[in-house]
Structure 1
Amino acid sequence: MSIIKDWTPEKGCAFTKQNLTFQHGLHERPLFGDAGLEELLDRYPREKLGVFTMGEDPEAWTTWRRGSAGTLSGSKLLEAAQSGRIWLNLRETNLHLPEYAALGDEIFAEKQAHAPGLRTFKRDLGMLISSANAQVFYHLDVPLVSLWQLRGQKRVWVYPVADPYVGDEALEKIVLKETAEQFAFNPAWDKGAAVYDLTPGKMVTWAQNAPHRIENGPMLNVSLSIEFMTPQALMRANVIYANGVLRRRLGAQRPRIQNGFSPGALGKLAVARGAKALKLQKPNPRVLPTSFKLDTERLGSLLPV
């Protein structure tokens, strides 16, 4: 039985190229009930668990803070998400729990069956468990992304990959890992965004590098966030990387992003590989220090560290 219920030939051809919405049935699986989530939080490597909190203003992206869950049990962590203002990010769950690896294989086998010529790799099947009214600030991702809603509801704004939403230089800084993926947001840009209201059983995917932001509804949210690469997506990332090198090393003013496997793109692939081998660019992303821990007595509260 298919996971996605509304594949069409048109959606299959547009997959990875356009913003698309789908209906799915993952939210009906016991894996994502309270017991399944508690077990997930108990078994997932604690040192890899991302614990975050944030302010309420969508422009105040610097209020995004990293925390620590300590030794709280899975049931206590779920309770903290239900009562506080936190965002639990379980990256690469598929690399740590076999049932999530199997789920990833199932999802990607279906995608490749319906999207002609699709080949995927660097698959990251991540679980997101987040509090009522929590948000993720304006940012973009280098890989391709699909977001599957399992519990609760959230609103997602997806913006064009163009000025003023993101300029070429800002994109290059992110790909070169000179800056974090979050950056300044102007609320006026909402007029140009595609807006998606996700409820259990809905999935949205968008064009590579599209800036986006997310706001939860007034309830616990559980989502599956899938990042992946295709040969075309990896080529684009390398072209952007090469453009950043050319701008910094040779003074190129407006290096162009070539899509596909044109001679220009292949030449920039060689530039990117050479620059990486020679370590010409040194990543310097913003690394968030751990600034709070979850209160073991009052699970909705945060304690400074």
Structure 2
Amino acid sequence: MTALPSMTADATPTFPEAARATFAAAYPDRPVTLHHGLVGHALLTLDALATLAERMPAGSVEYNLGKLPLGVRPEDMPANGLTLGETIRTIETNGSWAVLKNVERDPAYAALLDTALSELEPIVAAQTGPMLHREAFIFLSSPSSVTPFHMDPEHNILLQIMGTKTMTVFPARDEELVPAQKSEDFHGGGHRNLEWRDGFKARGTPFPLCPGDAVHVPVKAPHFVENGPAVSVSLSVTWRSERSVAEGELHSFNALLRKRGLPTGAVSERPERQGVRRLVYRIMRKLGA
């Protein structure tokens, strides 16, 4: 059994001991509900987040109208006609969705991320090796907003700070949900949104989230999010691993092979062990192939 990291007597953990034990039993392949202690944190109020957003570079923010169908093309995402600061300060009534990306570039939010992930690092290291490329994202949603069906390349824990939402998570590595060529395009810089079919919904598991709840989402497990009747604020803490990096390399290798009319190879549940194919891909990439 993986040993859980200890906490000092006067420290309030982001993830209490029971949550860390639940995470250890599920990581890296199963989605699971956890509990956290960041509700009411001064850095996660609407005013603090609006101030943060206004000093972030334009490329690190994304926002649009929030009442969207589950399947929507990236080019069809509608703007809301407001500035980002206006969007956050009036999010209760403007029907919008916003994400602040890579907030760990701000020192205060970097410390928040490091504290949270340090509690989980021994568990992660025992299963998938060192935590790589740690990042944090903050999501703000108006009542009844929808985040369309999509996938992400990182190991992810979404912490609910304010309001309620339901995240419906689907199995990773299901090629009916995510065809092989979509994975190849995605790892080549393609958009995260996926094609939605009504028949998919029964294959997902809904995770209702209230303030103090969190959900672990495995790498590239498709999901969509439906916001509740109040403003929602969520913090997403993410990291990469040798496993997630290996999966990206192998899909990128398949993309190169497919372009040349050559047979592609299967990406296993433990892609970090497919060392020969990863080495060939790295050599081809270095040669400019």
TM-score band (shorter)? 0.7 to 0.9
Matched with 2:77 is 64
User: Are positions 1:151 and 2:162 aligned together?
Assistant: yes
Matched with 1:90 is 100
Matched with 1:256 is 266
User: Are positions 1:188 and 2:206 aligned together?
Assistant: no
Residues 61, 137 of structure 1: CA spacing in aligned structure 2 closer, same or farther, 3 A cutoff? farther
Residues 205, 124 of structure 1: CA spacing in aligned structure 2 closer, same or farther, 3 A cutoff? same
Residue 250 of structure 1, CA deviation:
4.1
Matched with 1:110 is 119
Deviations, residues 246-277 of structure 1 (Å, cap 9, x unaligned): 2222421x520032433xx1122123323433
Matched with 1:31 is 43
Alignment of 1:100-249 (within 5 A): 100-117=109-126, 118-161=129-172, 162-177=174-189, 179-249=190-260
Match for 1:79: what amino acid? R
Moved over 4 A (4+): 66-70
What TM-score, normalized by structure 1, do the two folds share? 0.81
What TM-score, normalized by structure 2, do the two folds share? 0.85
Alignment of 1:245-284 (within 5 A): 245-252=256-263, 254-258=264-268, 259-262=270-273, 265-280=274-289
Residue 188 of structure 1, CA deviation:
1.5
Query: How far, CA to CA, are the matches of 2:60 and 2:80 in structure 1?
Result: 12
Matched with 1:303 is none
Residues 230, 26 of structure 1: CA spacing in aligned structure 2 closer, same or farther, 3 A cutoff? same
RMSD: 2.3
Match for 2:145: what amino acid? A
SS at 2:39's partner residue? helix
Residue 192 of structure 1, CA deviation:
0.8
Match for 1:84: what amino acid? N
Matched with 1:79 is 89
Deviations, residues 112-147 of structure 1 (Å, cap 9, x unaligned): 134452411111211111211111111111222221
Aligned length: 272
Match for 1:221: what amino acid? S
Query: How far, CA to CA, are the matches of 2:89 and 2:134 in structure 1?
Result: 29
Q: Percent identity?
A: 21
Contact 1:243 1:257 in 2 (8 A): no
Q: Any stretches of 5+ residues in structure 2 without a counterpart?
A: 1-11
Residue 186 of structure 1, CA deviation:
0.8
Residues 52, 129 of structure 1: CA spacing in aligned structure 2 closer, same or farther, 3 A cutoff? same
